[in-house]
Chains A and B, each alone.
Chain A
Amino acid sequence: MSETREKAQLMSASEIERTLVRLAHEVLERSDDLDRVAFIGIRRRGVPIAQRLAARINSLEARDIPVGILDITLYRDDLTTISNQPVLNATEISFPVAGKDIILMDDVLYTGRTVRAALDALFDHGRPARVQLLVLIDRGHRELPIEARFVGRAVQTTDREIIEVKFKEIDQVDKVLLVEKVD
Chain B
Amino acid sequence: MAKLLIKNGRVMDPETGHDQVADILIRDRYVVRVGQNLHAIAATLFDATGLVVAPGFIDMHVHLREPGFEHAETIETGSRAAAGGGFTSVCAMPNTQPVNDDATVTRYVLERAARSAVVNVFPIGAITKNSAGQELAAIGSMKNAGAVAISDDGKPVMNSRVMRRAMEFARVFDLPVIDHCEDLELSAGGDMHEGLESTRLGLKGSPGCAEDVMVARDLLLVEVTGARYHTAHVSTRRSLELIREAKARGLPVSCEVTPHHLALADADMIPYDSNYKMRPPLRSRQDVAALADGVAAGVVDAIATDHAPHPGSEKMQEFERCPHGVIGLETALAVALQVLVHSGRIPLMRLVELFTLGPARILGLASRGRLSAGMAADVTIFDPDVEWTYDVNRSLCKARNSPFDGRKFRGAPVATVVGGRIVWQR
Q: Report A's interface with B, CB cutoff 8 A.
A: 73-75, 77, 79, 82-89, 91, 121, 123-127
Check A86–B370 contact: CB distance below 8 A: yes
Check A86–B374 contact: CB distance below 8 A: yes
Check B367–A84 contact: CB distance below 8 A: yes
Check A124–B32 contact: CB distance below 8 A: yes
**Which among A89, A121, A123 has the highest number of chain B CB atoms within 10 Å?**
A89
CA distance A89 to B27 in the complex (A): 13
Check B32–A126 contact: CB distance below 8 A: no
Interface digits, B354-376 against A, CB 8 Å rule (1 contact, 0 not)? Answer: 00000000001111001001111
Check B27–A75 contact: CB distance below 8 A: yes
Q: Do A87 and B30 contact each other (CB < 8 Å), given the known contacts A74-B374, A82-B376, A124-B25? A: yes
Check A126–B33 contact: CB distance below 8 A: no
Q: Report B's interface with A, CB cutoff 8 A.
A: 1, 3, 25, 27-30, 32-33, 38-41, 364-367, 370, 373-376, 419
Check A85–B33 contact: CB distance below 8 A: no
Check A84–B366 contact: CB distance below 8 A: yes
Check A86–B39 contact: CB distance below 8 A: no
CA distance A87 to B38 in the complex (A): 20
CA distance A36 to B25 in the complex (A): 26
List, in ascending order, chain B residues with CB within 8 A of A124's CB: 3, 25, 27, 32-33, 38-41
List, in ascending order, chain A residues with CB within 8 A of B376's CB: 82, 86
Check B32–A89 contact: CB distance below 8 A: yes
- Offer 28 A-B interface pairs, CB within 8 angstroms, sorted by A: A74-B27, A74-B374, A79-B28, A79-B29, A79-B30, A82-B29, A82-B419, A83-B367, A84-B364, A84-B367, A85-B367, A86-B366, A87-B30, A87-B375, A91-B33, A91-B373, A121-B32, A123-B39, A123-B40, A123-B41, A124-B25, A124-B27, A124-B32, A124-B38, A124-B40, A125-B33, A125-B38, A125-B39
CA distance A88 to B30 in the complex (A): 11
Chain A interface main SS type = loop
- Choose one: B32, B38, B41; the contact of A74 (CB below 8 Å): B32
Query: Can you name 20 extra interface pairs (CB under 8 A) apart from A82-B419, A86-B376, A87-B375?
Result: A74-B374, A75-B27, A79-B28, A79-B29, A82-B367, A83-B367, A84-B364, A84-B365, A84-B367, A85-B367, A87-B30, A89-B33, A91-B373, A121-B32, A123-B41, A124-B25, A124-B32, A124-B38, A124-B41, A125-B38
**Which among A83, A91, A124, A126 has the highest number of chain B CB atoms within 10 Å?**
A124
Check A89–B28 contact: CB distance below 8 A: no
Q: Which residue of B lies closest to A77 (CB)?
A: B1
Q: How far is the CB of B374 from chain A (nearest CB, A)?
A: 4
CA distance A23 to B29 in the complex (A): 38
Q: Identify the 10 closest CB pairs spanning chains A and B, nearest first.
A: A89-B373, A89-B374, A87-B374, A86-B367, A86-B374, A124-B40, A74-B30, A82-B376, A74-B32, A84-B366
Check A126–B366 contact: CB distance below 8 A: no
List, in ascending order, chain B residues with CB within 8 A of A126's CB: 39
Q: How far is the CB of A80 from chain B (nearest CB, A)?
A: 9
Q: How far is the CB of A118 from chain B (nearest CB, A)?
A: 13
CA distance A89 to B1 in the complex (A): 18
Q: Which residue of A lies closest to B120 (CB)?
A: A82
CA distance A160 to B40 in the complex (A): 38
List, in ascending order, chain B residues with CB within 8 A of A75's CB: 27, 32
Q: Do A86 and B375 contact each other (CB < 8 Å), given the known contacts A74-B27, A75-B27, A124-B32? A: yes
Check A74–B373 contact: CB distance below 8 A: yes
CA distance A124 to B30 in the complex (A): 14
List, in ascending order, chain A residues with CB within 8 A of B29's CB: 79, 82
List, in ascending order, chain B residues with CB within 8 A of A83's CB: 367
Q: Do A88 and B374 contact each other (CB < 8 Å), given the known contacts A82-B367, A126-B39? A: yes
Q: How far is the CB of A93 from chain B (nearest CB, A)?
A: 10
Q: How far is the CB of B351 from chain A (nearest CB, A)?
A: 23
List, in ascending order, chain B residues with CB within 8 A of A88's CB: 374
**Which among A74, A85, A121, A125 has the highest number of chain B CB atoms within 10 Å?**
A74
CA distance A182 to B92 in the complex (A): 48
Q: Which residue of B lies closest to A85 (CB)?
A: B366
Q: How far is the CB of B25 from chain A (nearest CB, A)?
A: 6
